[in-house]
Amino acid sequence: MTIHVRVRAESSPGEKRVAATPDSVKKLLAAGATVEVESGAGLGSLITDAAYEAAGARIVDRDQARSPGILFHVRPLTPGEIAALPAGTVTIGTLDAFQNPAAVAAARDANVTSFALDLLPRISRAQSMDVLSSQALLAGYRLVTLAADAFGRMFGMTMTAAGTLAPARVLVLGAGVAGLQAIATAKRLGGVVSANDVRAASADEVRSVGGTFIDLDLGTAEAGGGYAKELAEDRARRQQELLAPHIAASDIVITTAAVPGRTAPRLVTADMVAAMKPGSVLVDLAAESGGNIEGSVPGERRSLPVAGGAVTLIGARDIQSDLAPDASKLYAMNCANFAALIVKGGELVLDFDDELLSGSVVARDGAIVTERVAATVEVGLASASRGSGAEPQKEPASAGRGSGAEPQKEPASASRGSGAEPQKEPA
């Protein structure tokens, strides 16, 4: 029986991305699948229903009856959305499993096979399916444009007969994909850019995209697979102390640090913000996960008083949706490339001997098959049943991302030769 792929219209407020484009639809059809796209799913990314139909997809309504198949999604599905799926459905998208234990439990209870692309193993074969890298690249670019818009001055040095305008001094904390893209973008705008990260390879990567690496002499903190691991409390405190003068001297500070399943590490305190020059700008990519900068609020642009004036603090939210057409193009092909692993001649073939499948599947056959996720679900649901409000089980520190907010890989637009394996643009 020919497998069908269904593409949902995202229901999360502010989410403009979609998990398929006309180009990715053609790739899925070439693999033998049929494709259904929910009406209006692509409008936020400037893709009409007619464009999907021209590519060979069928436009359907969300409540239209359907048999099990493959469901593509961008944002994690809610427990209710999962419970409404036919048994045997295969879902492909981001899951954020450590923060969504109820959704994982719903997939188990509904006998849904759930693949989390945000848990893909960090190997070369996974690059064309790597949603974390493709979306972080766009986030890094957008962070700089947000900062530039709020800065109120020119970024680059300009020399005129009437005088010289000094370049903006930009500090980027975290040199993963988003951080490296932010460095490269700020440099192209003419800023003087410096950066810090706790991984051994980060110094060369920062320099490869035109930044100056700040060595805090704290040693390195690596967890393998290109990830940084969370600093111990004393080292984290020392990191703040050593960063303070660099932050005070900066016109723009961009932070990108996050740890899956944990509150984002605090890199910039309120006292550090208060020591900055009037007119300075801070942008926090991790605002939705607790914030690298004290006082940041997701989706809000705040004016904070400092001596002689104020600084602007921007908390990022739905930042990839600001660039929805490009974000959807990359995300959709990430999903289609992953689907190519399980759709063979139009039929669903699940080979869990493939490490990409076994490493990213969270629930199947009525069970949660990833041990660390299973532990999170047990603790999270127990806390919910007690009404304690306790946080879910945290992901082991060895899998954390420390001072890099996303996978620590070079962005496609970055300079080669950094020693990091570059992100490949999906075919």
Q: Which residues are catalytic?
A: 122, 127, 130, 133, 227
Cα(286)–Cα(63) distance, integer angstroms: 35
CA nearest neighbour of 135 among 227, 313, 16: 16
Q: What are phi and psi of 310, to 5 degrees?
A: -150, 160
Place of tokens 């660039």: 323
Tell me if 85 sits within 8 A of 110, measured CB to CB.
yes
Tell me if 288 sits within 8 A of 258, measured CB to CB.
no
Cα(32)–Cα(42) distance, integer angstroms: 22
Burial class (CB in 10 A: 0-12, 13-18, 19+), 310: middle
Tell me if 6 sits within 8 A of 38, measured CB to CB.
yes
Cα(269)–Cα(399) distance, integer angstroms: 25
CA nearest neighbour of 166 among 151, 179, 180: 151
Question: For 54-96, what is the HEC assignment?
Answer: HHCCEEECCCCCCCCCEEECCCCCCHHHHHCCCCCCEEEECCC
